[in-house]
Amino acid sequence: MIRYRADSQKAKRFVTAWWLDVLTLMEYDSKPVSACNTFNKIVEFYTAHFAKVDRAMRNLYAHFIQEESIIRPFQEYYESLNQELLHKWFEYAGEYKTDQQGYLINLFQKAKPGTAVIVGDAVRYEIADQITATLQKKFKVEKQTMLADMPSETEHNMSALYVGSNQVLPVHKDREKGLLELTGKNITFITLADLRHGEKAEYLVLTYKDIDSTGEKLQHDAVKLFEGFEQVLQEKITQLLNMGYKEVYLVADHGFVLTGLLTESDKIDPAVTGANKPSERYIRTVDKQNNTGWLVFDRPYGEYKYVYTAKSHRPFKSKGVYGFSHGGFTPQEIVVPKFIFKKQSASLPGLKVAIINKSELAEVAGDLFGIKIQSESYTDMFAASRKVQVLLYAGSSNYCSSSIITIEAGKTLSTEYAFKGNSEVMAVLLDAETQEQLDIVTIKKSNARDFGGLI
């Protein structure tokens, strides 16, 4: 009945795709998890099967979190499935070993120029997996996993990625500085939002914090925005590859859990002895505790020596709101993406088009400037013409775009633009259909007056 409803074209006119999420919950088979007899096998099962269930439940929260009578039965069913997985997960937790410490150092020491790395904050595995489902139609994708360190929270895990050696650097600029010193590579750091066509760097690191920052502020309300965050990541990965980067990595510091509808009885009492600092998903302590229902990690931090987390996805009683959380030890928080995207090698080259008056644009008098583009001579019927577009950037802002220009083989075309108050702009020539970057030029406004050819 549910499949008939989900496949109905009439139903799709009135409801969104959440029927497919109901199907994912109903059709999930938990029997294979019983055959998982190592920690690595549980991780493999999670990424291949259960991550889709996490995604389905997140989508249902996005639609029905304000309607308890609808969401609670789904949540209770999901928790029963999750509990089976967690039982196995904690049974083999002693085999857990993070591979996050110093990851970026090792990557850049071996990487070749033309490498870009998107470092996401709270990009859960299922989010990256969904992005890949679309991108793998156009690009090569290598899907690998990383096990985040504990506690699975930003300050600790970003430090693990950038500098390793169990250092914890609270300031992000210090992590970037440390990575430069430890690799000796010429790495450029920008935020993902500031990526523009024409960004040329041998090695590029782009930070993306929207998921974590929005989740912390909006909690459950943030789940309605996650689809947009996925779209941003998908577009930026595509843009980087079209700009000429040979490999684009997508990694994350940690994932997250959604606690859903909670009562006070659902929360865990953080009963500890000695000085301590409880958070929603973990507790820092000075003294060692005696609680068989908790896991302990030796993680010195300030005055504290240990990190404790419950063998559960439920939160500790702590200050603040509940909903979007991380810091604990569950697959949703610990298993994070380590994906690599590359362009398909078998792509037909198009008609070569380039900007030919770059020397003139190095110093322009007046507020107007012309850009001349030229195509190569006719070679074959498949490269007789090309549709291109010129984008103008002032800093990271795209302040002007040309219309789509069709240029025939062996032709030269000119278009005119204005500085519009900017003293320096960048022009980027793109293939209008594939968005592949064809050429770039920096255009500078001269301080000399334009006498309109009178001198």
For 193-200, what is the mean pLDDT? Answer: 89
pLDDT band at 378 (very low <50, low <70, confident <90, very high): low
pLDDT given at position 454: 47
pLDDT given at position 3: 81
pLDDT band at 16 (very low <50, low <70, confident <90, very high): low
pLDDT digits (tens, 9 = 90+) for 53-99: 999 999 999 999 999 999 999 999 999 999 999 999 999 999 999 99
Q: What is the mean pLDDT of the chain?
A: 92
Question: Do 103-259+323-343 and 353-444 agree at the fold level?
Answer: no
Residue 291, number of CB atoms within 10 A of its CB = 12
Q: Domain 353-444 falls in which CATH fold?
A: Immunoglobulin-like (2.60.40)
pTM comes to 0.88
Of residues 396 and 402, which shows the higher confidence score? 402
Q: Domain 103-259+323-343 falls in which CATH fold?
A: Alkaline Phosphatase, subunit A (3.40.720)
Dist. CA 163–CA 181, nearest whole Å:
9
For 317-328, what is the mean pLDDT? Answer: 89
pLDDT band at 9 (very low <50, low <70, confident <90, very high): confident
Q: What six digits make up the tokens of 447?
A: 């301080």
pLDDT given at position 347: 54
Residue 381, number of CB atoms within 10 A of its CB = 6
Dist. CA 298–CA 305, nearest whole Å:
6
Query: What is the 3 state secondary structure string of the chain?
Result: CHHHHHHCHHHHCCCCCHHHHHHHHHHCCCHHHHHCCCHHHHHHHHHHHHHHHHHHHHHHHHHHCCCHHHHHHHHHHHHHHHHHHHHHHHHCHHHCCCCCCCHHHHHHHHCCCCEEEEEECCCCHHHHHHHHHHHCCCEEEEEEEEECCCCECHHHHHHHHHCCCCCCCCCHHHHHHHHHHHHCCCEEEEEHHHCCCCCCCCEEEEEECHHHHHHHHHHHHHHHHHHHHHHHHHHHHHHHHHCCCCEEEEEECCCCEECCCCCHHHCECCCCCCCEEECCCCEEECCCCCCCCEEEEEEEECCEEEEEEECCCCCECCCCCCCEECECCCHHHHEEEEEEEEECCCCCCCCCEEECCHHHHCCECCCEEEEEEEECCCCCHHHCEEEEEEEEEECCEEEEECCCEEEECCCEEEEEEECCCCCEEEEEEEECCCCCEEEEEEEEECCCCCCCCCC
Dist. CA 226–CA 63, nearest whole Å:
12
Task: Give the start-to-end residue ranges of the domains of the chain.
Answer: 2-94, 103-259+323-343, 264-310, 353-444
For 230-252, what is the mean pLDDT? Answer: 96
pLDDT digits (tens, 9 = 90+) for 419-453: 999 999 999 999 998 888 999 999 999 876 555 54
pLDDT digits (tens, 9 = 90+) for 271-287: 999 999 999 999 999 99
Of 378, 434, 438, nearest in space to 408 by CA: 378
* Residue percentage of the chain with pLDDT more than 70: 95
